[in-house]
Structure 1
Amino acid sequence: MNLDMVMQELESLGKERTKKIYLSNGAHEPLFGVATGHMKPIFKKTKINQPLAEELYATGNYDAMYFAGIIADPKAMTEDDYDRWMDAAYFYMLSDYVVAVTLSESDIAQEVADKWIASGEELRMSGGWSCYCWLLGNRPDSEFAEDKISAMLDMVKSRIHDAPERTKYAMNNFIYTVAVSYMPLHDQAVETAKAVGPVEVNKDKSKSKFLNASDNIQKAVDKQQLGFKRRHVRC
């Protein structure tokens, strides 16, 4: 399949209702509104195809950019490639669910994510923290340096309340993910969640809301989900 063929298939799968949901979350034109689960039949025709993924991502069409993440070859991408993709990730569903997810399947994931976290840029930071969530929820605990993850929990505790909006979401999810999926630091993550308390987001809207890692961790404990690891990160 070439670029035009994939774009035609994506357009045929678009739904106005789905498009409205994406727009309400921060997507903008061009987009078709394709449910991600409906992309699987196209993947069966394209398989992993990095050149096609690059063409799709460069269209700026949200659905095409999402599908690019599904067919990308993470280990064929360099740090410059990931930075270029992040530059074009204009809202969190791209930074956290396309670029960070693709990065998490590469061999340079932690190295790149660390730089993004240190960048001071909202979506890069969000993508970096999210990448660690995907990593911790998929890879063996032995792949991570315990002192490094511990220091990251300390960083979240001291900075989350002053972090940019989307970064707050990703940092909050990091606490939860460490507690549920990285058993060596479960207790520290639980204590971090308690120390952080509720995290206010959407302050600029008529009604703000609060994120609470402690509540979500307790739900996971109640459901006996501790130690959870995904078999696959990408769909």
Structure 2
Amino acid sequence: MVMTAEEILEKLKLLGQDGYKRTLLNHGVVEPVFGVKIEELKKIQKVVKRNYQLALDLYETGVYDAMYLAGLVADDKAMTKPDLQHWVSHAKSEPISLYTVPWVAAQGLHGWELGLEWIESPQPSVAVSGWATLSGLVALTDDENLDIDALRSLLLRIPALLPQQPRQVSSAMNSFVIAIGSYVSALTQPALDMNEQTELLTKASDAIRKIEQRGGIGKKRKTIKC
């Protein structure tokens, strides 16, 4: 079924719930937002499937619910670097920076290059997208196709960088350590050793050990979208 962004936006208005909207606003989402639950967005995703232009149009509305849906329906491999640069620079809400943009970047063709660029940004929302993109890449990519030495170097930078970061960036960096330790078996021990250098990574070490205990180290994912 072919639907335009305008038609979907009208549908989203009807699906919005005030209670869920308040929850979203309390978790870093900014107006405009209707308060559509993810389960409802996924129903629309099943109808429209993957659609490059529709994703761009939905994101351009600036409405949080539509921007989140854009990430679900995006044709990741069709996204250009200018597309992704536009998305990351217009990610007003924290979940868009942390989830939507990194999902599409990591599953596309430019995730490694842009992830490395974005983590150096002084703009917190862009840096968050960078670290989350790199986390997504290691979760998706077989180890033989990863630059293990480059990832090790990134990992070793974190203890010194972490204390200087704003909350959202330090959280994304912490998640990167967890992703490295969980999905790249060659770097599990170096990731665990980070805890010895800063207590700020204690939760990361705890998370990696739990995954290790249930035999999940090195098991890759087919998608990071949810």
Instruction: Give the TM-score category using the shorter length.
Output: over 0.9
Match of 1:66 in 2: 68
Give, in angstroms, the shift of residue 29 of structure 1. Answer: 1.7
Give, in angstroms, the shift of residue 2 of structure 1. Answer: 1.1
Q: Which runs of 5+ in 1 are unaligned?
A: 200-210
Does the 8 Å contact 2:30/2:93 carry over to 1? no
- Residue 233 (str. 1) matches residue 215 (str. 2): no
Match of 1:186 in 2: 188
Describe how 1:90-169 pairs up with structure 2 within 5 A.
90-169=92-171
Match of 2:54 in 1: 52
Deviations 1:59-97 (Å, cap 9, x if unpaired)? 111000000111111222221111111111013201110
Does the residue aligned with 1:89 lie in a helix, a strand or coil?
coil
Match of 2:208 in 1: 217
- Residue 14 (str. 1) matches residue 5 (str. 2): no
Whole-Å separation in 1 of the counterparts to 2:91 and 2:149: 31
Deviations 1:121-163 (Å, cap 9, x if unpaired)? 2111111110111111122111211110000001112101111
Give, in angstroms, the shift of residue 13 of structure 1. Answer: 2.2
Q: Which amino acid aligns with 1:224?
A: G
Whole-Å separation in 1 of the counterparts to 2:127 and 2:195: 19
Give, in angstroms, the shift of residue 194 of structure 1. Answer: 3.0
Deviations 1:9-31 (Å, cap 9, x if unpaired)? 22222222211111001212211
2:78 maps to which of 69, 76, 87:
76
Does the 8 Å contact 1:53/1:72 carry over to 2? yes
TM-score, length-normalised on structure 1?
0.90
Taking only the aligned residue pairs, the percentage that are identical comes to 30
TM-score, length-normalised on structure 2?
0.93
Deviations 1:163-209 (Å, cap 9, x if unpaired)? 1221101100111111111111111111013322226xxxxxxxxxx
Whole-Å separation in 2 of the counterparts to 1:7 and 1:78: 24
Describe how 1:27-38 pairs up with structure 2 within 5 A.
27-38=29-40
Q: Which runs of 5+ in 2 are unaligned?
A: none
Q: Which amino acid aligns with 2:124?
A: E
Instruction: Tell me which protein shows more helix as a share of its residues.
Output: 2
Does the residue aligned with 2:215 lie in a helix, a strand or coil?
coil
Does the 8 Å contact 1:96/1:130 carry over to 2? yes
Does the residue aligned with 2:225 lie in a helix, a strand or coil?
coil
